[in-house]
Amino acid sequence: MNCTFSINETSRRSPDRTLPLGFFAISHLWIKGKKNRRLITGKWFCIESDNSKIFRVLRFSPKLEANKDDSKGQISIDYDAWNQLAGFSEDSSQPLSLRFRRASKMEFIRCISSHPDPSYRIAGWLGVISVILGFIGFALGVVSICK
């Protein structure tokens, strides 16, 4: 999905104040069908601008505007992410052209390491380390059985 999004003083925070760090919200009108929206809610997405690429989890908000004909709308995202997408520009009120796509399985490590909440990053890295140690333990068990 390729669209131009704007942010203003009021949409720098979630309109309903329930959007946690690491999430972003767009209007439900961008995705056709309730089933399709339910399938992608809570999934990791890569958001790319001309300046940067970030990873956030998708939510929908009916309070945000969407004009599919002009490919323009509003996005609710944490201010640090908007600054990063804008290339740390002095004027953060300018609309940005953003591209959205589902994050691939290979990008999952980048999703973990770029989360704005440190507790999520720590938990993610502990999970990655646990999987690696599990593979090492499994490999050592197989080697000892084969000898």
Q: Per-residue pLDDT for the chain (147 aa), expressed as one digit of tens each?
A: 656 666 544 444 544 566 788 888 888 888 888 999 999 999 999 999 888 899 999 998 888 888 877 878 888 888 788 888 888 877 766 778 888 899 998 898 888 888 888 998 999 999 999 999 999 999 999 999 987
- What's the distance, CA 33 to chain centroid? 21
Q: What are the sequence ranges of the domains in the chain? A: 2-104, 117-147
The residue behind tokens 């720590």 is 122
Strands 72-77 and 53-60: unpaired
What's residue 92's pLDDT?
65
Decide if 114 contacts 55 (C-beta within 8 A): yes
Residue type at position 98: L
Own/partner pairs, 83-87, CB within 8 angstroms, 24+ separation: 84/51, 84/52, 84/54, 85/47, 85/49, 85/51, 85/52, 85/54, 86/49, 86/51, 87/49, 87/50, 87/51, 87/52
Architecture in CATH for domain 2-104: Beta Barrel (2.40)
Q: How far apart (Å, rounded) are the C-alpha atoms in residues 46 and 57?
A: 9
pTM assigned to the model: 0.77
